[in-house]
């Protein structure tokens, strides 16, 4: 009967070692996932800061543009053909 108990304890010991190895492996995976999540959070925070800075720069640029009612505003779409200048009337030269 003592041999059965030793075999049984031996099997339990092997099972315990296997469980400990699995727990260790899972702990390492959890640790690496935790580090990856921290890194992603830092990256996201940096990107959010960059987006905020870009939005501020865009708003600053937009605030410097003339108002729509301002007569100084250029209408580039209506000015599709450039005005003729005396230099344009001459024949093109080939060299």
Q: Name the residue with higher pLDDT: 41 or 89.
A: 41
Residue 28 is predicted with a pLDDT of: 98
Position 86 pLDDT exceeds 80: no
**Distance from the first to the final alpha carbon of the chain:** 112
Distance CA 73, CA 25 (A): 67
Over its C-alpha atoms, the chain yields an Rg (Å, rounded) of 38
Instruction: Give tens-digit pLDDT for 19-66.
Output: 999 999 999 999 999 999 999 999 999 999 999 999 999 999 998 887
């Amino acid at each position: 009967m003592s041999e059965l108990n030793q075999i049984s304890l031996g099997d339990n010991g092997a099972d315990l070692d296997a469980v400990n190895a699995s727990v260790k492996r899972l702990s390492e995976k959890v640790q690496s996932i935790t580090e990856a999540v921290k890194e992603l959070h830092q990256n996201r925070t940096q990107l959010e800061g960059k987006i905020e800075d870009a939005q501020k720069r865009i708003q600053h640029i937009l605030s410097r543009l003339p108002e729509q009612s301002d007569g100084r505003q250029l209408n580039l779409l209506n000015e599709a053909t450039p005005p003729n200048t005396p230099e344009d009337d001459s024949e093109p030269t080939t060299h």
